[in-house]
Amino acid sequence: MRKLVAGLIVGASMMVAAPAQAAPVRPNDPGLSGQWGIAQTRVDEAWSTTRGSSRVIVAVLDTGVSPLPDLAGRLLPGRDFANHDNDAADDNGHGTMAATVIAASADNRTGIAGVCWFCRILPVKVLNAKGGGSYTDIALGLRYAADRGASVISLSLGGSEDSAMLRDAVAYAEGKGALVVAAAGNRGVTAPHFPAAFPSVLAVGGVTPTGTRYAWSNYGGWVDVTAPGCNPAQGPSGTVGQYCGTSSATPFVAGAAGLLASTDPAPSGAAVRSALLASRAIPSGRIDVAAALRSLPYDGDVLRPSAAFGAVRAVVRGRVTITAAASDQHGVSRVQLYAGGRLIGTDTTAPYSFTWQSAPISATVALELRAYDRHGNRTVVRRTVRADNAGPVVRLAKAGRTMTARATDPSGVARLELVVNGRVTARHAGATRRFAVPARARSVQVRAYDRAGNVRVATGKLGG
């Protein structure tokens, strides 16, 4: 029996301005200014840990996906079940917008930033040019996507009737390891919407920037999570427009699932589902992607965290602040700073920062960062700095009414100053200078500054 089901296209072409959000990782895509959901769900924080992987395939069961520069190299050959051919190009726009929410390339000054930058998209056309389709074609599409290794299957569509055929197809896909994510529907009612309402499917509702439910979003105990219900997206022409509805919230969650699936050891679809459920805010149900990443199982993780020093001067003196960056797919447990083999400090929260009292050392010092992830994997990063906590050596020679100063320092001499009767009367940028001494001088000193900022004062003799 063929049952018709409409794709959820509510608001797909509506242009709406949205406020810009600050983010820990902020790519340069022009459309990012309208992507308020990225910060609301802490996708931006998750990006500091993972931005996806080409080994993760997200299948988009929709009206097809058109090739775009923002999907170049990551759009796989697909299948058109609506027209029974191998051309999965989009003749509506709905599916392409869903695909770009999931995986538009980021930080390329083009379009928007997809949630999963490096995930690949498998286009599976199961809806026609008007956004309609049948349960039969959707079921075939689910099996097709599962057979081609999709880790996540995104369905921005649904119908009001249950279907054994759809249940079987969902079970088949999940048996192959896929997580099925589906839209809850846009009627603003509690009535179940299928396949989202199947217990094992991750049903997605839509929420506003404040986390409240959009009036059009279906709701009820069968809705598992919520996500931003209006997101900028790119249509087949590449133009960015506002894409609203649970059709938009669903690929947002699918992209988040792609990020989680990109970690190592590769989590099962069930583990990704559990992590997203565990991350939900109360009472809105909105996903928290950074929290979901942290809740993933990490037993078997063999990947070491990344770590790097912040800006550190080659020559330092006194109390020095040293910053560091560290990230790991499952979270960094701690970062430590060693100087000359001695532990200076441990920081467990980003941004990582340490205070090192370098005085009284004046020598080359080996610095070492040690970053540990939650599984105990360690990364060590080393660099050397020269601690200079001693002023220049200054020699003075008086001849008549002149005072010749010569200064030396391993860091180099920045300047000399002549101080007569407690007041600076002359300056010189360099290490050697002959100064004229006034006849009424009661005291004469020369201050020598090195390039590290240390100073030494030498007192000249006035007699002779």
3-state secondary structure 181-230: EEECCCCCCCCCCECCCCCCCEEEEEECCCCCECCCCCCCCCCCEEEECE
Looking at residue 238, its pLDDT comes to: 95
407 neighbors 394 (Cβ within 8 angstroms)? yes
Handedness of CA 36, 38, 39, 41 (dihedral sign): positive
Beta bridge partner(s), residue 369: 337, 381
CATH code for the domain defined by 4-295:
3.40.50.200
How far is residue 57 from each of residues 74, 161, 179, 195, measured CA to CA in Å? 9, 29, 11, 20
399-456: pLDDT as tens digits: 988 999 999 999 999 999 999 999 999 999 999 999 999 988 999 999 999 999 999 9
Respond yes or no: is residue 84 known to be catalytic. no
The CATH classification number of 306-387 equals 2.60.40.10
Here the tokens at position 84 are 């029974």
Question: Would you kindly state where each structural domain of the chain is located, as residue ranges?
Answer: 4-295, 306-387, 393-460
Q: For residue range 101-110, what is the model confidence (pLDDT) as tens digits?
A: 999 999 999 9
Selected catalytic residue, list 44, 62, 80, 301: 62
Tens-digit pLDDT string for the chain (464 aa): 233 344 443 333 222 333 222 237 999 999 999 999 999 999 999 998 899 999 999 999 999 999 999 999 999 999 999 999 999 999 999 999 999 999 999 999 999 999 999 999 999 999 999 999 999 999 999 999 999 999 999 999 999 999 999 999 999 999 999 999 999 999 999 999 999 999 999 999 999 999 999 999 999 999 999 999 999 999 999 999 999 999 999 999 999 999 999 999 999 999 999 999 999 999 999 999 999 999 999 989 999 999 999 999 999 999 999 999 999 999 899 999 999 999 999 999 988 999 999 999 999 999 999 999 999 999 999 999 999 999 999 999 999 889 999 999 999 999 999 999 999 999 999 999 999 999 889 999 999 999 999 999 999 887 65
What are 139's two structure tokens?
A: 């079921």
Is 156 one of the annotated active-site residues of the chain? no
In the set 94, 193, 330, 375, the catalytic residue is: 94
CATH topology of domain 393-460: Immunoglobulin-like (2.60.40)
SS3 130: coil
Active-site option among 154, 247, 262, 279: 247
Would you say the CATH fold of 306-387 matches that of 4-295? no
Active site residue 62: yes
pTM, rounded to two decimals: 0.80
